[in-house]
Chain A
Amino acid sequence: MISREYTRLAVAIVATILLLVALVRHFHWLGGPYFELPKTVQDHVWPVPFASRDAILLSKRAAELLPRGATVTAFQPSTAPNIDVTHFLSAAGMMPHHRVLPPILDGKTGELPRYVLSVREELSHPSYALHSSWPEGHIYEVRR
């Protein structure tokens, strides 16, 4: 029984050390900077930052810039027609004082959002004009 107990301890210690090494390797694979506080909780989930990081940062800017209560949506135009809805969901969290709508701009299914946060890319849409540009993307306002 004693030898079995020592074997057990050895298994536990070796497995723990291997898992810790694998964890450090994984963190390193995700890339630097390693000792700076990230701007968003999405900064290092993949070696190349996800567009969701930019969606969060753009929403943060828009939350301060756009009038409270205005309708807003957010998306990355190149993901159309299967638009990645996670960007507007992120905006819904970052812009609690605005009315964040799903990214539907066909004009047939309900109102057009007053503002569009176009993540990373420019938006080409006849109903919208550029409001402002930022490193994370562009903000558009519906033409009146």
Chain B
Amino acid sequence: MTFALAFAAFLLLPLFGLFVWRLEDVRKLDLAGRIAIAGAVGIVAVGLVLGLLSVARIDWSRTSVFLPLAAIAVAGVRTARGGTYPSPLKPKTIFLVLFAAIGVLLVYGLVTARMSSGDIHFFWGPKAIRFYREGGVSLAVLHEPSHAYMNRDYPVLLPLLYSWMQTMAHQMSFEAGMLATALFLLAIVAIVRSISGDDATAVVLAAALTYTVAKAPAGGAGEAPLLLFEILALCALTFFQDARTRGIIASIALAGAASTKLEGATFVVAVAIAVVLVQRNVKRAIQVCLPAAITLGGWVAFVKLNGLSGGYGGATMPIFLDVIPLALRQMAKAGSYGVYWLPWLAAIALIVLGDVRRAALPLLVAVLTTGAALFFYIHVPDPTVWIAGSGPRVLLTPLACLYVAAAAAWPGLRDN
């Protein structure tokens, strides 16, 4: 029963993001794509409600949490109702078979604990449990001795999401948290497929994400929701034609990314640079990154003012330039995922077989996020162990960006 209620909390997420369904470019997508986008927006809505309740010092309870979320859901249903939406994209039989096989293996790997990240038990879960038991994000919890080992200054969106799960189920279900990874990964694939209509890229992306998340391993941790926000933002900026849709979806997704993991903040910076350089649009870069900057800035200010700073203090650490060759070698090793870089090579082949110029934005973001990872790693004299542990997870971002590039480069897109 706990598991069912806890998992239902994740299944309900699209309800809280339905209000974006009538946006011009979202309306054109098939059902799977729209549900996936609403789900990502729903995560941000849940985080916002729980966060604002904490700011207002209102204890989380089913009543205090359900009421505002129910209002958001009702407003969303009203907005979405009555719209005319396209019918689902039907894949070729071969792709249908491959998607099914990937789905079965993904769920199998997560259910049998073959893709689990230890981090769900080491800090994401315990953090969420303490917040939930305390009735909100409180300084008392963040100052607890145990929190010193849980990255107390880390962005809190995922613990908030796991707290939402507990509000539904009255306790944490690590198994449901684990299985939610499948929903996040499937949502990523649905977004890329729905927006691009490119089954070839979508099917390899699905296989690559399932395989690399298993190898990392990253099930239940922050990587899957982070990737969901990153890919949604990148797809919005690459594919959406309507300025309003692009602005709203990209800014919500970037705020979500920056609130999920520290790497999300560097992703936002990479996107800002890429939009300026590729799309020659400074105003757009500022517009889409502003909500993320405000959200993250608010959190960093809270952390600094209350003496909780840890990771953000890394900016003052020395840089070891002579470590670059070693770090690059170790990153290459981590990024091979034990299959001779197949996930990367497949994406690059798909890009090369298309029109590379159309893929400039996601390609540049892939390069910049790889560079950002390298930049972090050269802050220690010997990053070998650090890269071996974190590299496979950190490199998921540039890898996923390459698949957005592959979808963008697809010549067939022009005819859609």
Contacts and interface: CB of A to CB of B under 8 A. Distances in A.
A50 B118 contact: yes
Given A11-B353, A86-B122, A93-B126, A102 B148 contact: yes
Contact of A96 (B129, B148, B215, B338): B129
Nearest to B220: A41
A9 B200 contact: yes
A89 B346 contact: no
Contacts, number: 161
A16 B100 CA distance: 12
Interface string A77-100: 000000001101110110010001
B207 A16 contact: yes
A38 interface: yes
Given A12-B346, A15-B204, A24-B105, A88 B146 contact: yes
Interface in A1-24: 1, 4-5, 7-9, 11-13, 15-20, 22-24
Interface residues of A, number: 47
Interface stretch (B25-33, B80-88, B106-114, B228-236): B106-114
B105 to A, nearest CB: 6
B121 A42 contact: yes
Interface stretch (B13-21, B171-179, B262-270, B391-399): B171-179
Nearest to A85: B149
B146 A100 contact: yes
A23 to B, nearest CB: 5
A93 B172 contact: yes
18 contacts: A5-B412, A7-B353, A8-B350, A8-B410, A20-B101, A20-B102, A20-B211, A22-B338, A24-B105, A41-B219, A42-B118, A44-B113, A44-B116, A52-B118, A52-B121, A89-B149, A93-B121, A93-B125
Given A34-B112, A41-B113, 15 more contacts: A12-B199, A12-B201, A13-B200, A15-B342, A22-B339, A23-B207, A26-B114, A36-B112, A41-B174, A41-B175, A44-B116, A88-B149, A89-B149, A100-B146, A102-B149
Interface of A: 1, 4-5, 7-9, 11-13, 15-20, 22-24, 26-27, 30, 34-38, 40-45, 50, 52, 56, 85-86, 88-90, 92-93, 96, 100-102, 110
